[in-house]
Amino acid sequence: MKWILAPIAALLVQGLLVQGLSAQVTLSAAVNAASYANPVLPNGSLTQGGVFIAFGSGMGPAKLQEISAYPLPTNLAGTSIAVTVNGTTVNCILLFTSANQVAAVLPSDTPAGSGTMVLSYNSAMSSALNVTVAPHNFGIFSVSQTGSGAGVITNAITNVVNSQTQSANATQLLDIWGTGLGPVAGNEIDGPLPGNIPNLPIQAFVGGQEVKVNYAGRSGCCTGLDQVEIVVPSGIVGCAVPVYVVVGGVTSNFVTVSIAQSGSTCVNPGALTASQLASAQANGGLRQGVASLLQDHSYIAKRDYESDTVAVSFMKTPYVDLTLVPPSPPPMANTCNITASGGSLPAGYESPTALAAGTVMLSGEVGPYTMLLQSTGGYGLVFEPSEQGAEAGIINSGVELTPGTYTFTGTAGTDIGAFNVSITLPALFNWTNRPSPKATISRSEPFVINWTNGYPGALVDIELQSAASLTEGVTVVCWADPTAGTFSVPVTVLQALPPTYSGGSASAHVSQGYMTNNFTAPGIDIGYASWSSGSGVTALIYK
């Protein structure tokens, strides 16, 4: 039983929950215990039979109290939760309670629809919180307990949690763990009710490919805990392969799974080498250099806006950050991911420090130009090919980055020695069917994107953004093979975007990027040279 509580209870020991009693009971939010999706988002509803987390203050005792045996209570240490939908009131099944967070199961016989939730602690009662109850809204647990990143996905035979050193292989069986598949028949208070949920409209996707689902229902472990058993597809390999599940037309949060070609260890192409790590540890951080060319021709603020940027920067990332946030594997073509607004850096994270070079010059198809020192360690220039550059007072108006080779040459500075790095820019990436501003994009049919001048070896990046409210929104990111010339964002992914709220903002941006080579310079452990070329449009409406 405590298996399901472990990811949630881990937050408690971080001091997020154990606070003093409040004289007043407040109930501020209730979310899916796995996805933590905001209630205003398409997958933000509570679910019949699903586990949810309620947030507030004065909700329970200062010290965490959790269940330890069946039958499960509807009142735990003085805390109880009642939900009323369509005139029917049900008492939720409590899993744990504390002053600022309570975990509970919404009974399967709760009516679906809009309703209210009230939390009581001893003699005090919260104000009613508006909630929506849906038949299906599956959330996948993540290792980070945030609803994103590596998923809580296990080998169906050994029960070992998937990781980069415990990777899956093709045809292997995996269990995806979550909550919110839907209601079940039986008395949930007396214990788990394992078994396939009949007639469940479910799809599971791994690396953008729909996979076979062998089982989808309650686990034999815990009330409200669901498992979805899938078969790993052939031909997909990666250390962070996107995974999501769609139930009844509602798309879950996205997590990742590690799949190796063979064996249990997945090799991350973006990982640092042993010598780079050793140097970072010896120097107190990884010393990095970045040189880039960026073309962006978008429709912003009711007019076309063309902006070309060149930049060079040097910084040292503290060694502790490399352990807290290790380099991510590169994205995979023909896959998508979603990111809700918000997020925070892990505890102990330290900001990078700038490293100073000398004078940096740009030459090649334009120039020569002396690059402007924008901050210690950062140099840049902005070019405006159109007449708007002059209107905005940009010195380099009427200049654009045309195809060809550009060279950055730097003199020695306090931290960085003399260097020279060249980047060859291909023909401008062209999004040929870019919609007009204020165009309406239907989320119920694939969003087809076509382009020309795809560069072999690069990666096309498609970013779609829509706001559900002033503060909450979702970004969908898909990646594609540039030589294909087209990509269709599937409906199952588009459904993760909220309909754009009245007066809200939405956009689409399509670009291709390429890491040309690594470069060296005295004073750095690694240097990256890259270019990116893209186009976007704002003021879209997703419906």
CB-based contacts of 150, cutoff 8 Å, min separation 6: 142, 143, 144, 162, 163, 240, 255, 256, 257, 258
Q: What is the pLDDT of residue 160?
A: 97
Residue 267 domain-assigned?
no
130 and 143 both lie in a single domain: no
Q: What is the CATH number of the domain that holds 214?
A: 2.60.40
From 134, 152, 184, give the residue that closes a domain.
134
Q: Which of 89, 86, 123, 129 shows the shortest CA–CA distance to 106? A: 89
Q: Is 5 helix (H, G, I), strand (E, B) or coil?
A: helix
> How many angstroms separate the CA atoms of 490 and 437, rounded?
22
Backbone angles phi, psi at 117, to 5 degrees: -125, 135
Q: What is the CATH number of the domain that holds 76?
A: 2.60.40.10
The total number of structural domains that make up the chain: 3
143 and 130 both lie in a single domain: no
Q: What is the pLDDT of residue 4?
A: 41
Q: What is the pLDDT of residue 12?
A: 30
From 208, 228, 259, give the residue that closes a domain.
259
Q: Which of 534, 516, 543 shows the shortest CA–CA distance to 463? A: 534
124 and 152 both lie in a single domain: no
> How many angstroms separate the CA atoms of 53 and 93, rounded?
12
210 and 304 both lie in a single domain: no
> How many angstroms separate the CA atoms of 424 and 309, rounded?
14
> How many angstroms separate the CA atoms of 366 and 167, rounded?
48
Residue 215 domain-assigned?
yes
Q: What is the pLDDT of residue 3?
A: 35
129 and 145 both lie in a single domain: no
Residue 69 domain-assigned?
yes
What count of Cα atoms within 13 Å lies in the side-chain half-sphere of residue 441? 33
What are the beta bridge partners of residue 176? 153, 228
456 and 366 both lie in a single domain: yes
**Which residue segment(s) compose the domain that 127 sits in?**
2-134
* pTM, rounded to two decimals: 0.89
Q: Is 6 helix (H, G, I), strand (E, B) or coil?
A: helix
149 and 112 both lie in a single domain: no
Contact in structure between 99 and 18 (CB atoms under 8 Å): yes
Q: Is the peptide bond before 346 cis (omega within 30 degrees of 0)?
A: no
12 and 40 both lie in a single domain: yes
Backbone angles phi, psi at 2, to 5 degrees: -70, -10
Residue 217 domain-assigned?
yes
What's the distance, Cα to Cα, between the start and end of the chain in Å? Answer: 41
Ordered DSSP codes for 141-202: -BTTSSSSSBB-EEETTT-PBPBTTB-B-TT-EEEEEEE-S---SS-GGGS---EEPTT--E
Residue 355 domain-assigned?
yes
Residue 378 domain-assigned?
yes
Residue 130 domain-assigned?
yes
From 134, 152, 168, give the residue that closes a domain.
134
282 and 389 both lie in a single domain: yes
Place of tokens 């997909």: 236
Q: Which of 431, 424, 433 shows the shortest CA–CA distance to 457? A: 424
Q: Residue by residue, what is the 3-state secondary structure of 185-234?
A: CCCHHHCCCCEECCCCCEEEEECCEEECEEEEEECCCCCCCEEEEEECCC
**In angstroms, how far is CA 123 from the centroid of its own chain?**
41
232 and 107 both lie in a single domain: no
Residue 264 domain-assigned?
no
> How many angstroms separate the CA atoms of 108 and 102, rounded?
19
Residue pLDDT tens, the chain, 543 long: 333 444 333 333 333 333 333 459 999 999 999 999 999 999 999 999 999 999 999 999 999 999 989 999 999 999 999 999 999 999 999 999 999 999 999 999 999 999 999 999 998 999 999 999 999 999 999 998 889 999 999 999 999 999 999 999 999 999 999 999 999 999 999 999 999 999 999 999 999 999 999 999 999 999 999 999 999 999 999 999 999 999 999 999 999 999 999 999 998 888 888 888 888 999 899 999 999 999 998 876 556 778 899 999 999 999 998 888 877 888 999 999 997 665 567 788 899 999 999 999 999 999 899 999 988 889 999 887 665 544 443 456 678 899 999 999 999 999 999 999 999 999 999 999 999 888 999 999 999 999 999 999 999 999 999 999 988 899 999 999 999 999 999 999 999 999 999 988 899 999 999 998 889 999 999 999 999 999 999 889 999
437 and 311 both lie in a single domain: yes
Q: What is the pLDDT of residue 399?
A: 84
Q: Is 86 helix (H, G, I), strand (E, B) or coil?
A: coil
DSSP state of 253: -
436 and 318 both lie in a single domain: yes
Q: What is the pLDDT of residue 391?
A: 43
